[in-house]
Amino acid sequence: MRVALRSVRRVEPRIAVLASGEGTNLQAVLDDPVVGGWVVLVVSDRAEAKALERARDRGIATAHLEPSEHPDRASYDHALRALLDEAHAGFVALAGFMRMLGPEVVGAFEDRIVNVHPALLPSFPGGHAVSDALAWGAKVTGVTVHLVDGQMDHGPIVAQEAIAVLPDDDWDSLETRIHEVEHRLLPAAVRALAEGRLRIEGRTVRVVEKPTDG
């Protein structure tokens, strides 16, 4: 049975970035000469996240959405959706955001949310991918950028790049090389998404040179 081919709907390139920590992937997006100018909002679940500071330094609107102030995931998801709508965001990039998005946000931004993950999915999903690869004795790991669906680290893959795990690697050395790849793949994937250059057929995503119709 043939899976229907769909194109990402083209909307104004206004991007919200969600981040929980240092924000190095956010910085890579902001430093991109094209994509950086499209970022209109940065949201974090942690008030002390350096990602918020990086955004403020660029004059970009920020928001701290505290999980403890919401009774459940649905309430948090609804509040996040309100922030995204208020910023008129057309796309969302998860750059080290350590919370799963709920169905309200995922549904509202179907095929318009990308996440960067420090492993070659479907291997090593979850929040400890670098240490999991080392503990497993993996010889190869990498970086994945994927579209976000309702499951953790599960959506169709937009881009991947393999990274060799060296015999003397520890967490710091391996993470450093992973970051270098993340900082290249994420801005490129965000740009392709926002420019309407993703064609999706089932779990297969193709990046095309020219924007798709729609």
Q: Which residues are catalytic?
A: 117
Count Cβ neighbours within 10 Å for each residue of 99-109 and write b for 16 or more, e otherwise: bebbebbbebb
In 32-170, where does DSSP find H-type helix? Answer: 50-57, 73-86, 103-108, 129-136
Residue 141's DSSP bridge partners are 163
Angstrom distance (rounded) from CA 212 to CA 199: 8
Token couple for 59: 């004059």
CA distance 17 to 100: 14
